[in-house]
Structure 1
Amino acid sequence: MLQNKWAWLLLLVTGLLGCDQPNSVAMGTVERDRMLLSAPVNAQITELTVSEGQQVAAGTILLRLDDRIASALVAQRKAELDLAQAQLALLQKGARDEAIAAADAAYQAATASAVEAQRSYQRSRQLFSEQMIGQAELDTALANREQTAASKLQLYQQWQQLRNGNRPEEIEQAQQQANAASAALRSAEKSLDDLTIRAPKAGVVDILPWKQGDRVPAGVQLVSLLAAVPCYARVYLPAAALTQLHQGDSVQVNIDGYEQAVIGTVRHIRSQPAFTPFYALNERDRARLMYLTDIDLPSDLNLPAGVAVEVHLP
């Protein structure tokens, strides 16, 4: 009787010690990269081109949002760019030949008037010295001479301005205005293009929470896609295995429904535990921490997400 008692006690101690040993298998599931596509603006769904479970290629149009406001903004930005470019071209080309010729003719006329005013002033001075006219007539001739000389100088400067063209600073300012208008147009075109939701890469439409005609707020999820390939295993790695398994290591993976195991490659091991924070546990409990780990599976496998897997640990 005493021997049986000791045998049961030994079996219990052995079982308890076995509970503290790290597991030789990590459990998890097959996963695929999930792509969440959201609404860029508050708008109405005008067209829904796919359904849940449908396989789509990269670039496939999934749905369209109302683009009337965005299209009008693109048209406005395009008109602003055309105006800015026309103003730039006008400044770069300079004045017309006809305008330069007209300015030259006006300058020549002012030159003739200035010559005549100078001669008239000289005659007035001669007459004034002979006391044939008074001071008032001489002052009038002097003022006329000064006025015609100033007019001649003004018209000459205008003629030279037309011949030399616009200042480089004015042309640079017009160029920057055209650049700003071009950037605004590209931004408006990008906003318009964003209203057509496309698949970023090949996959399967997993969730379509909205239907055609619904008005969706900005930022809300419109489509959830599961990437077609590759699939990978996401398992919970015991803390005790962290020193034995590293990124790039090969591991044996058993997949539900597959008779033979496959070889996977450790892609990434999370640095933080998935459950209770490390600092809240004592030394005994730390062995029970689990770390999410992603393991790449062979590229020729085409498995649905959610299939259970077992990873054999070293």
Structure 2
Amino acid sequence: MTDNKQRNIVFPAFLLLLGVIAVVTIVGFFMLRPAEEIIQGQIEVTEYRVSSKVPGRIKELRVSEGQQVQAGDTLAVIEAPDVAAKMEQAKAAEAAAQAQNAKALKGARSEQIQAAYEMWQKAQAGVAIATKTHQRVQNLYDQGVVPAQKLDEATAQRDAAIATQKAAEAQYNMARNGAEREDKLAASALVDRARGAVAEVESYINETYLIAPRAGEVSEIFPKAGELVGTGAPIMNIAEMGDMWASFAVREDFLSSMNMGAVLETVVPALNEEKVRFKITFIKNMGTYAAWKATKTTGQYDLKTFEVKATLVDKDKAQKLRPGMSVIIRK
């Protein structure tokens, strides 16, 4: 009777001990088993920043965040009164230069030409009188009627009249022929410079209209309508959703299976763990600042981190993916 009672007590205790050992073994197996290692990256796209050369006030924003734009679309309009004032100044300078150029090409006025001609004719008449007077005095001198001094005076008057006539003729020819070639070239150069100033201001006016250089999606707009922006200040970012890739920071001991051109099987948590394939196109050391950890307690060397970029293979899934979504590689 006593032996039966002992067996009835020992056997359940033994079974309980076996159960505890089994539970501890199973729990230990799962707890001590190495955890699944994953590599996490994220979706990235090419972005370009839209800015203006001209400082001013945001007059109008013609797009909103998330909107699709095409190359050539007007994104925003900047109000720049200073540029408009400079355009008025440049146009006025151009008009003045054109007037000077026209004057140089046309030459003297008809009244000035006529006056120069009359002075030339007057000088010619003076030469005729001085020549006749000189001839008379010469005859009288030959006859011994007048002294040599009178002849010298008559000769001097004749020569002076001839010089005056030549000077008047030169003035007339200059008035008739117009400005010198160099003066005309200088006037033409002034016109070209004024036109260049107008073209420069026109380029600034064109910069007040911000145009999308490429198609994409407006990812972020910085200023609001009515705010002031400076030269080169960013106005908005445009994301090219067609140029999409995944970027990973990979420890170098995981790089053995990541070669250039290799296809990565990944899952995207935001898409209910949907599988998406990427192709490796870029591998680069991220630098010493990205060291992962020392593999030895003595710190003999560090495992470095590499940047890995992979372009999207499953193009049909591009519409579902968004920049910033996590991408998981399970080892």
CA distance in 2, matches of 1:91, 1:243: 80
CA distance in 2, matches of 1:64, 1:304: 29
The answer for the alignment partner of 1:252 in structure 2 is 264
Quick one: structure 1 residues 157 and 274, their matched pair in 2 at CA, closer, same or farther if it must change by over 3 Å?
Answer: farther
Q: Give the letter for the 1:75 counterpart.
A: E
1:70 Cα shift?
Answer: 0.6
Pairing partner for 1:113 from 108, 119, 126 = 126
Contact 1:235 1:292 survives alignment (8 Å): yes
- For 1:20-49, what per-residue CA distance to the aligned partner results, in whole angstroms no more than 9, with x for missing partners? xxx8x7532111222222343442222222
Aligned identity (percent) is 26
- For 1:179-226, what per-residue CA distance to the aligned partner results, in whole angstroms no more than 9, with x for missing partners? 222222221111122122222222222222322222233343222222
Quick one: structure 1 residues 191 and 93, their matched pair in 2 at CA, closer, same or farther if it must change by over 3 Å?
Answer: same
CA distance in 2, matches of 1:298, 1:115: 106
CA distance in 2, matches of 1:253, 1:81: 66
Quick one: structure 1 residues 283 and 200, their matched pair in 2 at CA, closer, same or farther if it must change by over 3 Å?
Answer: farther
Contact 1:77 1:185 survives alignment (8 Å): yes
Contact 1:255 1:307 survives alignment (8 Å): no
- For 1:45-92, what per-residue CA distance to the aligned partner results, in whole angstroms no more than 9, with x for missing partners? 222223222222222222222222211212221232233344334434
Contact 2:44 2:247 survives alignment (8 Å): yes
Q: Give the letter for the 2:72 counterpart.
A: G
1:105 Cα shift?
Answer: 5.3
Alignment of 1:19-34 (within 5 A): 26-34=39-47
Unmatched tracts of structure 1, length 5 or more: 1-7
TM-score w.r.t. length of structure 2: 0.70
Q: Give the letter for the 2:309 counterpart.
A: T
Quick one: structure 1 residues 270 and 196, their matched pair in 2 at CA, closer, same or farther if it must change by over 3 Å?
Answer: farther
Q: What is the aligned length? A: 292
TM-score w.r.t. length of structure 1: 0.73
Query: SS of the residue aligned with 1:144?
Result: helix
Unmatched tracts of structure 2, length 5 or more: 1-27
Contact 1:275 1:289 survives alignment (8 Å): no
Contact 1:30 1:233 survives alignment (8 Å): yes
The answer for the alignment partner of 1:236 in structure 2 is 249
Quick one: structure 1 residues 140 and 56, their matched pair in 2 at CA, closer, same or farther if it must change by over 3 Å?
Answer: same
The answer for the alignment partner of 2:71 in structure 1 is 58
Query: SS of the residue aligned with 2:65?
Result: coil
Query: SS of the residue aligned with 1:32?
Result: strand
CA distance in 2, matches of 1:238, 1:244: 11
Quick one: structure 1 residues 171 and 90, their matched pair in 2 at CA, closer, same or farther if it must change by over 3 Å?
Answer: same
The answer for the alignment partner of 1:262 in structure 2 is 277
Contact 2:286 2:305 survives alignment (8 Å): no
- For 1:214-266, what per-residue CA distance to the aligned partner results, in whole angstroms no more than 9, with x for missing partners? 223334322222224222222224445399633xx252352512734334351
- For 1:106-142, what per-residue CA distance to the aligned partner results, in whole angstroms no more than 9, with x for missing partners? 4344333222212222223333555655677555534
CA distance in 2, matches of 1:99, 1:270: 81
Quick one: structure 1 residues 199 and 253, their matched pair in 2 at CA, closer, same or farther if it must change by over 3 Å?
Answer: farther
CA distance in 1, matches of 2:330, 2:104: 75
The answer for the alignment partner of 1:290 in structure 2 is 306
CA distance in 2, matches of 1:193, 1:58: 16
